[in-house]
Structure 1
């Protein structure tokens, strides 16, 4: 065996269709494009979403609502998550750097502390926003709420 004798497996390589090479080839004349119309011509390209003149879907379906480009999206952190971190590390403050170090937020996130779960330890929590239930739970546990 050497490189000059290598060839693909039998039946794995097909010859390409040679189109428009006379009637004797069986693919002359219309060259497999059917008869007349825009699709048979060279340079034809269908517009995206075109449905043959029927009102296209993106125009049939009504528009509604809007995207508020001034919205602020928060990464939510619940009290039960904070409690489990405190139990594990014996931390007294939970701030952005602490949450980032534990992989709960990324560098450009804004944090909102949410009220799911219970907080048993008194801890100082620094965040951009707090839910009302989170504030009451933190203060009832003897902690402190600091808004960034």
Structure 2
């Protein structure tokens, strides 16, 4: 076997349709485009969302509501994730920077601690926001919850 003798397997390739090559090709005349109309012309491109003259979906459906530009979005972090991080690192103080370094939250995320799970050790947790039940659970374990 040599590079110049390589060929695709039999039946694995097909010749492309030769459109618009005369009547003898069986695809002459209209060149598989049907008869007349915009779709048969060169240069035709349908508008985005065009539905053949029917009222398009984006105009049939009404506008609704608005997006509040001042909305503050917090990334939720549960107590079980904080406890797992503390066990992994072997520390008693958990900060947002530690959460970022360990991939729990993103670089620009604001963090809200929620009370899903349990805290088994005395931890000093600092975050942007806490739920009331999360603060209660952290303090019950002997730790502190600090709002940044």
Q: Which TM bucket (shorter chain)?
A: 0.7 to 0.9
CA distance in 2, matches of 1:102, 1:19: 59
- The corresponding residue for 2:51 is 51
Within-5 A mapping of 1:69-88:
69-87=69-87
Q: Judging changes above 3 Å, is the alpha-carbon distance between structure 1 residues 36 and 130 closer, same or farther for their aligned structure 2 residues?
A: same
- The corresponding residue for 2:138 is 138
Please tell me whether residue 108 in structure 1 is matched to residue 100 in structure 2: no
- The corresponding residue for 1:61 is 61
CA distance in 2, matches of 1:137, 1:23: 83
Q: Judging changes above 3 Å, is the alpha-carbon distance between structure 1 residues 29 and 111 closer, same or farther for their aligned structure 2 residues?
A: same
Which is worse superposed, 72-81 or 38-47? 72-81
TM-score, normalised by the number of residues in structure 1? 0.83
The aligned length equals: 148
Shift of 1:129: 0.7
- The corresponding residue for 1:37 is 37
Output one character per residue of 1:34-69: Cα deviation in whole Å (capped at 9) or x when no partner: 111111111111111111001112221222222223
What is the alpha-carbon root mean square deviation over aligned residues? 2.2
> Which sections of structure 1, spanning at least 5 residues, go unmatched?
none
Shift of 1:89: 4.8
Shift of 1:90: 4.7
Which is worse superposed, 85-94 or 30-39? 85-94
Please tell me whether residue 118 in structure 1 is matched to residue 118 in structure 2: yes
Which is worse superposed, 57-66 or 37-46? 57-66
Q: List structure 1 runs of 4+ shifted beyond 6 angstroms.
A: none
Shift of 1:87: 4.7
TM-score, normalised by the number of residues in structure 2? 0.83
